[in-house]
Structure 1
């Protein structure tokens, strides 16, 4: 999950609510404004939290249903991360975020393309996604030293790495066990991402009265 080194301390380009630029702006600027909105980060967090709650509430569903839910989670999250990548200040800084978005989308397609795949295959897909994105998030937190509330980003990175390792090293032997394992980690990751979103909202509000310049939003 790539991150720019920009900070909202200089002030956002638009009000803290995340209002997009006026019509007529180029698509890249529109995507950048949308990705910088704390509401967009909130939507990304909910895209992780809601599937986690679903699979925990209905743990007895079949592997087919689990694969579809996880596949949709990966696709939707990939879209959120793709847009958030354009909030980076420099094109070079967008690369990790774009790679993460592509990884989520590809993994989601793999889950939906063959929802009757084995438990081991589903565990491998999700475990690799979480492990790689967790490492990219850790890199982001280290590189963006002036980013507000970096602790949330470090926590999200640690959870993703641990979740990936657990799923890869301890593959579930049944659909029910895998459902509970994935659901638990999705809920934990979603809660942390909610913290990132609200921390970014607080940073935007603090910067709203200052001279406006481009800033970059985190991507948990």
Structure 2
């Protein structure tokens, strides 16, 4: 779960007249920072989790091949969203997010590279992703200052760790069982990210200066 570090989206750069940052439009790192810290990007990440989760739940008779493709595409897209979200964090807080993004992309490639793999192999990939992502998300929630919705993020991280341990310790014996577990988790993750995105939207609106307000002079 990717959560921007600051609802106001600080960039650490001096702003010019009108809030513009000199040279920002030509700086890819700055653009990724603004994009990764926006509520729309987080909402997009929520949809990436929610849509496949709903598809998996309403299509329980999907074959293992279809399930592996859906999981692979979800992991690849989630990795991209998490990679961009890394730029919205402080420098010392980027490593866990970067590791998580790489994990998602590698797991997605493994699922798509051999979609006809056994249910045991797919369960192993999903279980490892849940376990490692839960540990990294929990670490980020503990060390990140002023993290929005810290309790929600920590609770979701603990659930991911538990789900990963369950899948690895008690591998599912059928595609239907894994489908239900995966679908429920993706829907839960997507809803939580949507809540955080809407909360970030409200925070950003509240931080905007009202019309007629005079900006404070900076030292």
- Using the size of structure 2 for normalisation, the TM-score is 0.84
**Aligned positions of 1:62-81 closer than 5 A:** 62-81=63-82
- Equivalent of residue 9 in structure 2, options 8, 12, 18: 12
Q: Which residue of 1 aligns with 2:125?
A: 125
Q: What is the number of residues matched between the two proteins?
A: 203
Which residue of structure 2 aligns with residue 196 of structure 1? 196
Bigger drift between 164-173 and 51-60 goes to 164-173
**Are residues 3 and 202 of structure 1, via their aligned partners in 2, closer, same or farther at CA, if it must alter by over 3 Å?**
closer
Residue 95 of structure 1, CA deviation: 1.1
Equivalences for residues 199-218 of structure 1 within 5 A: 199-209=199-209
Which residue pairs with 1:116 in the alignment? 116
Query: Structure 1 residue 197: deviation in Å?
Result: 1.4
Superposed, which structure 2 residues align to 1:80-159 within 5 Å? 80-90=81-91, 92-159=92-159
CA deviations over 1:75-101 (Å, ceiling 9, x no partner):
0000000000111122x3211111100
- Of 75-84 and 189-198, more deviation after overlay is shown by 189-198
- 1:24 Cα deviation (Å)? 3.2
Aligned-pair CA distance for 1:137: 0.9
- Superposed CA RMSD: 2.4
| In 2, Cα distance between equivalents of 1:23 and 1:145 | 26
1:183 corresponds in structure 2 to 183
Q: Could you say which structure has the larger radius of gyration?
A: 2
| Aligned counterpart, 2:15 | none
Query: What is the aligned partner in structure 2 of residue 216 from structure 1?
Result: none
Q: In structure 2, how many angstroms separate the alpha carbons of the residues matched to 1:140 and 1:79?
A: 18
List gaps (5 residues or longer) in structure 1.
15-19, 213-220
How big is the shift at 1:2?
7.7
How much does 1:177 deviate?
Answer: 1.6
Separation in 2, partners of 1:2, 1:187: 16
- 1:166 Cα deviation after fit: 2.2
Structure having greater relative contact order (Cα 8 Å, sep ≥ 6): 1
Aligned to 1:215: none
- Name the counterpart of 2:35: 34
Task: Compute the displacement of 1:25 (Å).
Answer: 2.7
Q: What SS does the aligned partner of 2:25 have?
A: coil
CA positional deviation for 1:23 = 6.9
Separation in structure 1 between the aligned mates of residue 161 and residue 95 of structure 2, nearest angstrom: 20
User: 1:59 — aligned with what?
Assistant: 60
**Displacement of 1:149:** 2.0
